[in-house]
Copies of this chain bind each other. A is one copy, B any other.
């Protein structure tokens, strides 16, 4: 059994969302599975000195245009959120809390968070919205609220972000297959060729 792909993303990354709608099927076409790993770009950007795309002069305006066009190109529904960028630590922590119980539930939750933000326009920086989405996947609200308030889950996410940085992850989406890194949803065609040929 070959190793799973590692799929790093931030829930507030539109290109991460677009990749999330494609990555599992792409990997499955080549007999691979995917390990989803939400991170916090805010922490990453402190290390690289980068700024959120939409806040960069000139590039910001283009990016919002490109998010929508790229979504149409990839046939994925997309509405740019009014509140953007936004904090995603509650969503990411809830993801790992679910993941440590059941990876498939966590993945379904991640899909729901992305779609809540980029299709339904919900404010997923709000802890209550995150809890509601998690409840839709069977999470017990009180237990989750307790976990979100405790230091252990914060440390769990911090460990993931630190490990991602140590591995060279600098943006979202960032996908690693057998040590080979691919940054950006526009690298999916290269990733696909890499999987098909075992490198190129």
Contact = CB atoms under 8 A, between A and B. Distances in A.
B48 A58 contact: yes
A161 to B, nearest CB: 13
Contact of A70 (B51, B57, B190): B190
B186 A61 contact: no
**A56, A170, A193: most-surrounded residue (chain B CB, <10 A):** A170
Contacts of A171: 59
Contacts of A186: 184, 186-187
Nearest to A44: B58
Interface in A42-62: 47-51, 56-59, 61-62
Copies of this chain in the oligomer: 2
A52 B49 CA distance: 12
A168 B62 contact: yes
Nearest to A167: B58
Contacts of A141: none
B183 A73 contact: no
A98 to B, nearest CB: 28
Contacts of A73: 189-190, 193, 200
A137 interface: no
A190 B58 contact: no
Interface in A14-67: 47-51, 56-59, 61-62, 65-66
Interface in A155-200: 165, 168-171, 181, 183-184, 186-187, 189-190, 193, 200
A50 B169 CA distance: 19
